[in-house]
Chain A
């Protein structure tokens, strides 16, 4: 069964305190992506990765970093979080054997105080 696992599901932090949201997929596919979801703005892509050690900026990359050292993991790093990064974050992968196109994780609700 295709799975994209994000951790944590909920996170409250303070401005400037570095954090990492992990994302792991079991679909053995090269492509992974991070989105943030904000009311009225929908889903916006932060970063994506076409393969190991290959990452590219999406539409809203400022304030974020990612890494892709191995195929299954694609962590999202906020070096110095700010309140405008309070959002719902989704990781997604591209499953092999379905029409799903992008398979999303369950989301991480981040609040930066």
Chain B
């Protein structure tokens, strides 16, 4: 069965520092990977997906099949980036069934 692991439950950085939220997955096939974000008192929403290969709000994530990782990075963290971040994996063709990691809370201090 597929599995998503986010090793850090909490990541605290200062404003302007680089950020890397780790995500590792286990799946023998070719999954589709996502990052979801949940800001305080808001719904969970899609941040980015690996097939888009785009930068959203300064965040990027590269799928590394050799290391089975999909780490989320941002060179300069902002206070408004403080949120809960979830890495997720989809294995079905419809892509609508997701397996989530345990989540990482990012706190960006002024």
> Which residues of A come within 8 Å of B, CB atoms?
4, 31, 33, 35, 37, 40-45, 48, 90, 92, 94, 99-102, 104-107
* Shortest Cβ distance from residue A2 to the other chain B in the assembled complex, whole angstroms: 11
How many CB-defined contacts (below 8 Å) exist between A and B?
Answer: 51
Contact A101 B49 (CB under 8 A): yes
Kindly state whether residue B25 has any CB partner on chain A within 8 Å: no
| Interface positions of B from 1 to 22, Cβ below 8 Å from A | 6, 9
Given contacts A31-B96, A101-B95, A101-B96, contact A106 B102 (CB under 8 A): no
Residue on B nearest A4 in the bound complex, by CB: B43
> Which residues of B come within 8 Å of A, CB atoms?
6, 9, 34, 42-46, 49, 52, 86, 90, 94-103
User: A101-B96, A104-B43 known; 6 other A-B pairs, CB under 8 Å?
Assistant: A4-B43, A35-B100, A45-B97, A94-B96, A101-B90, A101-B95
The CA-CA distance from A33 to B46 in the complex, in Å, is: 16
Residue on A nearest B100 in the bound complex, by CB: A43
The CA-CA distance from A33 to B90 in the complex, in Å, is: 14
Contact B101 A42 (CB under 8 A): yes
* Shortest Cβ distance from residue A108 to the other chain B in the assembled complex, whole angstroms: 11
Contact A40 B43 (CB under 8 A): no
Given contacts A101-B49, A104-B44, contact A43 B86 (CB under 8 A): yes
Contact A42 B6 (CB under 8 A): yes
Residue on B nearest A107 in the bound complex, by CB: B43
The CA-CA distance from A40 to B45 in the complex, in Å, is: 19
Residue on B nearest A94 in the bound complex, by CB: B96
The CA-CA distance from A43 to B6 in the complex, in Å, is: 12
Contact A31 B86 (CB under 8 A): no
The CA-CA distance from A41 to B103 in the complex, in Å, is: 8
Contact B103 A105 (CB under 8 A): no
Contact B43 A106 (CB under 8 A): yes
* Shortest Cβ distance from residue B43 to the other chain A in the assembled complex, whole angstroms: 5
Contact B100 A101 (CB under 8 A): no
Residues of B within 8 A of A42 (CB): 6, 86, 100-103
